[in-house]
Structure 1
Amino acid sequence: MDHWVLYEPKVQNFPLVDGFFFVDSNPMTLFGLRMATARGHHTRASTVRQFTECLAAYFNGWEELSREMSWEIIYVQHADSTPMNGWQRCDVVNSDSVSDDESREIAGFREEEVRQYQVSISSGALEETQLSEVRNSHGNGKRNWGGKGAVLISGKK
Structure 2
Amino acid sequence: EPFLEEKKAAQVTGSLKADGKKVVLATVKGEVHEIGKNIVGVILACNGWQVIDLGVMVQSATILKTAREMQVDIIGLSGLITPSLDEMVHVAKEMEREGFETPLLIGGATTSRVHTAVKIAPHYSKPVVHVIDASRSVPVVSNLLSDNERDRFAAEVLEEYAKVRSQYEGHQREKE
TM-score, normalised with respect to structure 2: 0.32
TM-score, normalised with respect to structure 1: 0.35
